[in-house]
Amino acid sequence: MTELLAQYGLWLIFLVVLAEQLGLPIPAMPLVMLAGARVVDEPMYGVFALLVAVAASSLGDLAWYVAGRLQGHRVLRLLCRISLSPDTCVRQSESTFTRYGIATLVIAKFVPGLSTIAPPLAGALGMRPSAFMLFNTAGAVLWAGAALVIGLLFATQIEAVLDALAELGAYAAALVGVLLALYIGWRWIERRRALRQLQSERLAPEELLAMLDRGDAVTVVDVRSGLIVDAEPVRIPGALSITLEQIDAHAHRLPKDGVLVTYCACPNDVSAVRAALKLHAAGLRHARPLRGGIEGWQAAGYRVEVMGASSALSDGRALAGDSSL
């Protein structure tokens, strides 16, 4: 392994970092830390390793940013199909963007799941390319620099581990392969468990439309985050806007009779499902998520209305007007 790193170290760093940023379940930080350990003997190697890691990271992130810019939230659904991370990573990323704004890109690489989701989400939210490149590059420099410094500080321990692995020879390679397989297997099991949890009883858009046309007692709740609403300020006619984070606070104000329908604009309707589960826990067992969310509703050709400032409940005000449709 030492000879491999000595001969192809920079190429390995580039390929592994790029693969991780493109969404493959390959941890790149340990390899960058190994490069940091080599800085003890070759100080300039750290500079080259930093540049290569930042270039690879920025290239992968730029690809996802452009995809998000062109395809919007569709690319996020694609990420959740190919990623081993649960679909909740998208909502967590939206919440992080809401809390920290553009500075999210600086810390994204230190947060599991957020590192891959942040670039396409930034593109989907319409972040300017210049701002994205500035803050994303700053985050890449901070991440790669931290890994190199850790490798430098623990160079002795890392060398000892490499020597032990060299003595094990083929057994070391087998051990690494087994550990990687176990890691991927565990993440896959966690993903399947999360997806099973999402298979609750969802309401199809045509079912909701039929209920509204009949005049049934239906309350529709839009649980999209403020960022997503700002990007596309339309809603199902008459829907109440209550973010997922505020569902618990507003649950007691929602009707206890009729049907509650929650919807979002996220992969696998994860926020709508979580909102319905929160409402169930609050005693509103008639809450059901809408299949496909606002995009599924629009794709079916059903009418939406432009949202006004008074429709949002993000300031914690009481529900106003008739809550049934």
Q: Coil, strand or helix: which one is 18?
A: helix
In the structure, what pLDDT confidence band is assigned to residue 309 with cuts at 50, 70 and 90?
very low
Q: Which of 274, 279, 229 is nearest to 254 (CA)?
A: 279
Strands laid side by side in the 218-222 sheet: 240-241, 218-222, 259-263, 287-289
- The rounded distance, in Å, linking the Cα atoms of 76 and 53 is 24
Q: What is the per-residue pLDDT for 4?
A: 59
Report the chain's mean pLDDT, rounded to a whole number.
79
Q: Which of 105-109, 185-189, 210-214 has the lowest mean pLDDT?
A: 185-189
Q: What is the per-residue pLDDT for 65?
A: 92
pLDDT tens-place string over residues 218-277: 999 999 877 677 777 899 999 999 988 889 899 988 988 888 999 988 767 878 888 888
Average pLDDT over residues 200-207: 84
Structure tokens at 185: 């297997």
pLDDT tens-place string over residues 167-181: 666 666 677 778 778
Instruction: Give the list of residues 6+ apart from residue 169 with CB closer than 8 angstroms, or none.
Output: none
In the structure, what pLDDT confidence band is assigned to residue 286 with cuts at 50, 70 and 90?
confident
pLDDT at residue 1 is higher than 90: no
pLDDT at residue 36 is higher than 80: yes
Which H or E run includes 287?
strand 287-289
Instruction: Give the list of residues 6+ apart from residue 266 with CB closer than 8 angstroms, or none.
Output: 73, 76, 87, 90, 91, 94, 224, 272, 293
Q: Which of 66, 53, 68, 45 is nearest to 19 (CA)?
A: 53
- The rounded distance, in Å, linking the Cα atoms of 29 and 22 is 15
User: Which residues are registered as beta bridge partners of 260?
Assistant: 219, 287
Q: Which of 85-89, 135-139, 210-214 has the lowest mean pLDDT?
A: 85-89
Q: Which DSSP string corresponds to 200-229?
A: S-PBPHHHHHHHHHHT--EEEEE---HHHH
Q: Long-range contacts for 124-129 (Cβ within 8 Å, ≥24 apart)?
A: 124/68, 124/69, 124/71, 124/72, 124/73, 124/75, 124/76, 124/231, 125/97, 125/227, 125/228, 125/231, 126/69, 126/231, 127/65, 127/102, 129/65
Q: Which of 80-84, 135-139, 148-152 has the lowest mean pLDDT?
A: 80-84
Q: Are 33 and 17 in contact (CB under 8 A)?
A: no
Q: What is the per-residue pLDDT for 104?
A: 83
Sketch out the chain's domains with CATH numbers.
2-198 (no CATH), 205-311 (3.40.250.10)
Q: What is the per-residue pLDDT for 95?
A: 67
pLDDT at residue 114 is higher than 50: yes
pLDDT at residue 85 is higher than 80: no
Higher pLDDT, 97 or 298: 298
